[in-house]
Structure 1
Amino acid sequence: MAGVMRDLEDLVEPEALTGSVSYRLRLLQIAAYKSFEKTITGFGAAPRYYGMLKLVQANPGIHQMRLAEAIFLDRSSLVPIIEILSREGWLERRDAKSDRRVKRIFLTDEGQDKLARLEAEVARHEAVITDGFTPAELDRLRGDLARIDANLRGFLAAPNVEQSA
């Protein structure tokens, strides 16, 4: 039957996976993304870029390169996303006054209005995935995720080091 989760009791998950934080994070990210896309409709491409839109809202005029860094994207990957969201009326790019080669990103007035409506749907989805957690457990989870984020940002910012065999 389509859409029904099969019984996973018979699935053997090797210890290399059950003990791997990065594997579990990736698996949960995929599941969270699928459930998010399933429940939030009518906003075009924006739901998948909600975090990016909130960063632009909190940092009006953010430099396009800084935005790419903040969400772990290459500039070349960010440009088509900005183009899509611009066509849908969410964002606009403006030249920086000091350097026309620099692009600054802003939410449009329409984007601000639509983002307010999208936030209600995001809050509903967040309630689904955090159901049963106490406030203290959520604080701990957010803190642990922030530590992982800091570890990854530090690792990615460090110069490349040759791996010994």
Structure 2
Amino acid sequence: MRFSFQDYISIKIHKTDLLLTSLIKTRLEPFNLAPEQNLIMMLLWEKDGLSQHQLIEPLEKDKTNIARMASNLEKKGFIKRVHCKDDRRSVRLYLTPAGRNLGEQVIPVTEEFNQLVSKGLTEDELRELERILAKINDNVRPEF
């Protein structure tokens, strides 16, 4: 049996991802913050001083991507990268005053965005969605 275009779950997920990314990009643009950079900032607003290595797992990015995004955030003046004295290969990221101030502006935007995305969904539906997405991620995650 051959699927039609509308039958592919991957296409449906991709369309949703494009809509979500486009909307959050528009909402973050006034703050000079890209959606992926915002993910790093959100983690730092929760816990300042994380190492670049500690960002790899929650963001599912390789160390090169993390380093590039951190460099761009540093150039914008939102974070400061500090090499650890004990291990020069390890780099910790710290919010600057501008980065902390940015959080006061951006966190409400991301919370409003999350409310919009989950509008009309029950707690049970959100848990089910998380379960289904985790299953899909496991299906397509490369095995190393």
Instruction: Name the TM-score class by shorter chain.
Output: 0.7 to 0.9
Distance 1:62 1:19 in 2: 42
Distance 1:45 1:147 in 2: 31
User: Is the CA contact 1:17–1:24 (under 8 Å) kept in the aligned structure 2?
Assistant: no
List runs of 5+ in structure 2 lacking aligned partners. none
How do 1:8-19 residues align onto structure 2 when only pairs under 5 Å count? 15=3, 17-19=5-7
Report the AA paired with residue 56 of structure 2.
Answer: A
Q: How does 1:86-97 map to 2 (within 5 A)?
A: 86-97=74-85
1:105-126 Cα offsets, whole Å, 9 max, x none, are: 1222321221121011112222
- Of Structure 1 and Structure 2, which has the larger fraction of its residues in helix? 2
Residue 45 (str. 1) matches residue 33 (str. 2): yes
Match in the other structure for 2:125? 137
Larger Cα Rg: Structure 1 or Structure 2?
Answer: 1
Q: Secondary structure at the match of 1:93?
A: strand
Alignment of 1:18-57 (within 5 A): 18-57=6-45
What TM-score do the two structures reach when normalised by structure 2? 0.78
Check whether the contact 1:46–1:85 (CA below 8 A) recurs between aligned residues: no
Which whole-Å CA distance do the structure 2 matches of 1:59 and 1:148 have between them?
29
Aligned-CA RMSD value = 2.6
| Deviation at residue 23 of structure 1 after TM alignment | 3.2
The 10-residue stretch of structure 1 (40-49 or 16-25) with the greater mean CA deviation from structure 2: 16-25
Kept after mapping to 2: 8 A contact 1:45/1:84: no
Percent identity over paired residues: 20
Match of 1:9 in 2: none
The alpha-carbon distance between structure 1 residues 94 and 17, as it changes in their structure 2 partners (threshold 3 A), is farther
Structure 1 gaps, min length 5 = 1-13, 160-165
Counterpart-to-counterpart distance in 2, 1:148 and 1:78:
24
1:93 deviation in Å? 0.7
- Compute the displacement of 1:47 (Å): 4.0
Q: TM-score of the superposition, structure 1-length normalised? A: 0.70
* 1:120 maps to 2:120: no
Question: How many Å separate the matches in 1 of 2:112 and 2:45?
Answer: 20
After superposition, where does 1:62-101 map in structure 2 within 5 Å?
62-101=50-89
Aligned AA for 1:120? P
| CA–CA distance in structure 2, aligned partners of residues 118 and 22 of structure 1 | 30
